[in-house]
Amino acid sequence: MLGIVRRNVGGAGGLYSQGFGRLRPVASAIRNYSSGGKEMTVRDALNSALDEEMAADPNVFVMGEEVGEYQGAYKITKGLLDKYGPERVLDTPITEAGFAGIGVGSAYHGLKPVIEFMTFNFSMQAIDHVINSAAKSNYMSAGQINVPIVFRGPNGPAAGVGAQHSQCYGAWYGSVPGLKVLVPYSSEDARGLLKAAIRDPDPVVFLENELLYGESFPVSAEALDSSFCLPIGKAKIEREGKDITITAFSKMVGYALKAAEILEKDGINAEVINLRSIRPLDRATINASVRKTNRLVTVEEGFPQHGIGAEICASVIEDSFGYLDAPVERVAGADVPTPYAANLERMAFPQIEDIVRAAKRACYRSVPMAASA
Amino acid sequence: MYSLYREPGVLLWRGFTMQEFANQCFGNNIGHGKGRQMPIHYGSKKLNYITISSPLATQLPQAVGMAYSLKMDKKDACVVAFFGDGTTSEGDFHAALNFAAVMDAPVVFICRNNGWAISTQVTEQFRSDGVVVKGQAYGIPSIRVDGNDALAVYNVVRSARETAINEQRPILIEAMTYRVSHHSTSDDSTKYRSKDVIEYWNTVHSPITRLRNWVERKGWWSDKEESELRIHTMKQVKHAIDEAEKEEMPLLRDMFTDVYDDLPSNLMEQETLVRETIQRHPKDFPKDMPL
């Protein structure tokens, strides 16, 4: 079986000694910290990242609905208009297709736009510009036109906002070559990844989460420095474990960590991976983890078909089939447009208990079901 | 009827009851909406009112399409599409107007120009002379009316409807008004405009006050009747809310129905699986879950 494995996915341990220290699976210490007890909300993390990048590079500007005078529909761009003026913080009329197109055009010329969609659900009205222009121009122009643009905004469900405000677009944008797709969870993720996205010469789709904006996380002194940047395409092991791997991104990382605490009490030691990046997907980290634990649960809020979990499952089967002791469990949102009624909405998205049960299913089977036939 | 989200008055006029409004907002089991859509996203097939959709302006090309189908069926009817000043920036608005003109679709476009789109004033939304010139530019007979004058609006709309049906062509009405309320319950508009301005429009130009003055001068209304009506309506609304709150939440099955016309096998399996899971792990789910 081991002979089938061609690619060397080793060195997993080395990828995470980036100075953030090993994590202990203790209740509130599921965040990384090296020094200091400073906490920061994701909202402030994003705001400070935008502020610092705008200060460092005069070509960076922000554009979107209500980003200026209103301080941002979710206050992410608070204070930026006062500090940088209307030439660099542009309030737009209600035309997603318009300002996405204008952003792409300005990026062709060498500016660095940060385009805000009030929710990625509204990016549907501009998706042609994101995909057919931003993603593909560098390739189609044989490298002559690069597009250093960032599209950011809340993605996925919030609370009680119905079908047209709750879809997760990770899988849609994640399938397009030419785009980079990032999914921050903590405040450090938000700071490091947004800064990296703005500095990156390629188009980046930056998927935030409305419910995480107000959540506070500890931030290290290193993360507070204005030169701080996280690498694009590297996942983070939020919690080390040896019995099962749980992959998640954005809000689901928090849920996965809580599920891991519950599993710990039942003697299951779970490793939680915060993907941080959907494209490029950190297949190396995921596969190394599965080779260690032999079991995998993928978690996402989006629809199951053609979702992130489907891709991770395929990647693991291609690279680490021999290491799996149980079928991969996919935990995803229900295959229905999101209902509004609170009781139905709760059933439409993964809850912590769903992750716990999926992990247990993966742990109590030692042989894949088909093999026992 | 294709609305945006500030036209519950239209629906009320058509016959949607206070209780139905409350049921929709609470997303309970007996509302038409089966708890599917957000509050104020009403709909009623019976009353020919298309369920509200959140993305702006998408309803406009759809309204034109529906008007075209009425035209092909030679119906004595037209479509009415409502929207605000902000919506006229969206690409779909321009596509809709252009198509309506070229196809001679019997649709009446009614733009509520209330000066604001959340915190964006019309001067930051467009630099044209309002919305009426845009209709003209596309070759649509367009008219601007004082939106706070109930009688003027009534006359304009009645005339527009006649023209749309008899001459089989689109009409654009721009009703000038002012948004005295906040954009929504998550907004505090005093942050971006002065309280005095809001107060001024709410008193001097209030369409309700103006109509009331006119009706009172005709001898058809009095202060006494006014206060009686207010008390009665408050009671009606409170009763509707109380009743709606008591009702059961939608059933689990309603999460899976209407995704497609027929319930497909994969969703039937999902529903069965969910029920089994709830039975086997009852402590993982809220106790009052209606099954």
CATH of the domain at A312: 3.40.50.920
In sequence order, which residues have a C-beta less than 8 Å from that of residue B59 and are 6 or more positions away? B2, B3, B4, B50, B53, B81, B83
- Render pLDDT for B224-279 as a digit per residue (tens, 0 to 9): 999 999 999 999 999 999 999 998 888 888 889 888 888 989 899 989 988 988 88
In which domain, by residue range, is A113 found?
39-224
CA distances from A186 to A69, A154, A167, A252, A332 (A): 27, 14, 21, 11, 21
Task: Find the CATH number of the domain harbouring A107.
Answer: 3.40.50.970
Split into its structural domains, chain A has a count of 2
Mean pLDDT of B78-83: 96
Q: Is the pLDDT of residue A22 over 60?
A: no
pLDDT at residue A366 is higher than 50: no
pTM: 0.84
Q: Are residues A123 and A159 in the same domain?
A: yes
Closest CB from A69, A96, A353 relative to B284: A353
The answer to whether residues A45 and A219 touch, using CB atoms and an 8 Å cutoff, is yes
Note the pLDDT of residue A36.
Answer: 56
Domain-located, residue A4: no
Domain end call among A183, A198, A224: A224
Same domain, A190 and A127: yes
Mean pLDDT of B177-201: 90
Residues A44 and A140 in one domain: yes
Chain B contact for A165 (CB, 8 A cutoff): yes
Share of chain A above pLDDT 90, in %: 84
How far does CA B62 lie from the centroid of its chain?
Answer: 15
- Mean local confidence (pLDDT), B40-59: 88
Q: Give domain status of residue A252, yes or no.
A: yes
Q: Do A335 and B266 touch (CB under 8 A)?
A: yes
Whether residues A83 and A216 fall in one domain: yes
In chain B, which residues have their Cβ closer than 8 Å to the Cβ of A93?
Answer: 86, 89, 117, 120, 124-126
Which tens digit of pLDDT belongs to each residue from B160-185? 999 999 999 999 999 999 999 999 88
- A113 within some domain: yes
| Residue A135, domain member (yes or no) | yes
Determine whether the interchain pair A335/B259 forms a contact, defined as Cβ–Cβ distance below 8 Å: yes
Mean of pLDDT values over A213-225:
96
User: What is the ipTM for the molecules in this complex?
Assistant: 0.78
* Rg of chain B over all Cα atoms, to the nearest angstrom: 22
Q: Which of A238, A145, A179, A191 is nearest to A40 (CA)?
A: A191
More confident site: A180 or B119: A180
Q: Name the residues of B annotated as catalytic.
A: 179, 183, 192
The chain-wide mean pLDDT, for chain A, equals 89
Q: Are residues A202 and A262 in the same domain?
A: no
A98-112, A117-131, A192-206, B31-45: segment of lowest average pLDDT: B31-45
Percentage of chain B lying above the pLDDT 90 cut: 64
A235: Cα within 13 Å, side-chain hemisphere: 29
A98 in the same domain as A70: yes
**What is the pLDDT, as a whole number, of residue A4?**
39
Domain assignment present for A99: yes
Whether residue A3 is predicted with pLDDT greater than 70 in this model: the reply is no
A189/A314 same-domain check: no
Cross-strand bridge partners of residue A208: A154
For residue A164, the model assigns a pLDDT of: 93
Last residue of a domain, one of A203, A224, A245: A224
What is the mean pLDDT of the segment spanning A52-80? 94
**What confidence score (pLDDT) does residue B28 get?**
87
SS3 of residue B119 by DSSP: coil
Q: Would you state the pLDDT for residue B236?
A: 95
Take residue A62 and report the two structure tokens written for it: 């922000």
Distance CA B131, CA B176 (A): 10
What are the structure tokens assigned to B166, written together? Answer: 């008899």
pLDDT over 90 at A16, yes or no: no
The reply to whether A349 falls in a domain is: yes
**One domain, residues A218 and A251:** no
Q: Within a 10 A sphere around the Cβ of B165, how many other Cβ atoms?
A: 17
Which chain A residues are closer than 8 Å to B124 by Cβ? 91, 93
Tell me chain A's radius of gyration from C-alpha atoms.
Answer: 20
Nearest one of A79, A169, A153, A147 to A116, comparing CA atoms: A153
What letters, b where the CB count within 10 A reaches 16 and e where it falls short, cover A228-245? bbbebbbbbbbbbbebbb
**Residue A29 pLDDT > 60, yes or no?**
no
- pLDDT, position A365: 52
**Is residue A268 situated within a structural domain?**
yes
Q: Are residues A327 and A356 in the same domain?
A: yes
Q: Which residue of B39, B89, B289 is in closest CB contact with A93?
A: B89
Domain assignment present for A168? yes
Same domain, A244 and A206: no
B56–A91 C-beta distance less than 8 A: no
| pLDDT band at A26; cut points 50, 70, 90 | very low
- Mark whether A200 and A89 lie in a shared domain: yes
Answer with the one of A224, A256, A276 that is the final residue of a domain: A224
The reply to whether residue B286 touches residue A357, judged by beta carbons under 8 angstroms, is no
Do A50 and A169 sit in the same domain of this protein? yes
Q: What six digits make up the tokens of A139?
A: 């390739």
